[in-house]
Amino acid sequence: MTRLVMAGLGVVILLLLLGASAPRASLGADAGDVPASGESVPVLRPIDASAGSADAVPDPSMRTTSSTSPSEGPKIVHVGFYVNDILDIDLERHRYWIDFFVWFRWNDPTIDPSKTFEFMNGAEQWATVRTPATEGPVRLADGSYYMREHVQSMFKRNMPLEDYPFDTLDLGIVMEDVDASVDELVFVPDDPAAVNAPDLTVPGYLVGQPKVTVTDWYYSDLGETGRGTATSSRIELSIALTRPWLPYALKIFVPLLLVVLCAALVFLIGPEHVDARFGLGISSLLTLIALKWTTDGEIPLLDYLGLIDSFYLMAFLFVAIGLADTTYTTWKRSTGTDVATLRRIDRRNFVIAGSIVLAGCALVIVTHFVR
Residue 79 domain-assigned? yes
Residue 66 identity (one-letter amino acid): S
Domain boundary among 220, 243, 266: 243
Asked whether residue 21 is assigned to any structural domain, the reply reads no
For 39-75, give the DSSP string.
-------PPPTTTT-TT----HHHHHT-SSPPPSSPE
Q: Which domain holds residue 131?
A: 71-243
Q: Do 202 and 260 fall within a single domain?
A: no
Q: Does residue 255 sit in the same domain as residue 350?
A: yes
Ordered per-residue pLDDT tens for the chain, 371 residues: 444 434 454 444 444 444 444 443 333 333 333 333 333 333 323 323 333 333 333 333 333 323 233 456 899 999 999 999 998 899 888 999 999 999 999 999 999 999 999 999 999 888 899 999 888 899 999 999 999 999 999 999 998 888 888 889 999 999 999 888 888 999 999 999 999 999 999 998 999 999 999 999 887 666 666 655 578 899 999 999 999 989 988 998 999 999 999 999 999 999 999 999 999 999 999 999 999 999 888 888 888 888 899 999 999 999 999 999 999 999 999 998 999 999 999 999 999 999 999 999 999 888 877 76
Q: Name which of 218, 215, 290, 205 is nearest 247 in CA terms.
A: 205
223 and 290 co-located in one domain: no
**Are 254 and 365 in the same domain?**
yes
Check whether residue 188 and residue 89 sit in a common domain: yes
Q: Would the CA dihedral through 297, 298, 304, 307 be positive or negative?
A: negative
* Domain boundary residue, one of 212, 243, 274: 243
Domain of 210, CATH number, reads: 2.70.170.10
309 and 332 both lie in a single domain:
yes
**Cα–Cα distance measured from residue 109 to residue 58, given in angstroms and rounded to the nearest whole number:** 7
CATH code of the domain containing 288: 1.20.58.390
Side chain identity, residue 149? E
Q: Which residues contact 112 (CB under 8 A, 6 or more apart)?
A: 136, 137, 145, 147
Q: Are residues 255 and 338 in the same domain?
A: yes
Give the count of beta carbons closer than 10 Å to the beta carbon of residue 138: 17
My answer on whether 223 and 303 are in the same domain is no
Q: Is residue 35 included in any domain, yes or no?
A: no
Structural domain contains residue 141:
yes
Residues 328 and 234 in one domain: no
Q: Is 296 exposed, middle or buried (0-12, 13-18, 19+ CB in 10 A)?
A: middle
d(CA 201, CA 88): 13
- Classify residue 293: in a domain, yes or no: yes
Say what the pLDDT of residue 223 is: 67
Total domains present in the chain: 2
pTM: 0.69
* 84 shares a domain with 178: yes
Instruction: Please indicate, yes or no, if residue 17 is contained in any of the structural domains.
Output: no
Could you please report the per-residue DSSP string of 329-357?
HHHHHHTT--HHHHHHHHHHHHHHHHHHH
- Residue finishing a domain among 221, 243, 265: 243
Cβ neighbours of residue 138 closer than 8 Å, sequence gap 6 or more? 54, 55, 56, 57, 145, 146, 147
The answer to whether the beta carbons of residues 212 and 237 sit under 8 Å apart is: yes
The Cα–Cα gap between 178 and 219 comes to 12
234 and 95 co-located in one domain: yes
Helix axes 339-369, 307-334, angle to 10 degrees: 170
The answer to whether position 131 is within a domain reads yes
In a domain, 47, yes or no: no
My answer on whether 255 and 216 are in the same domain is no
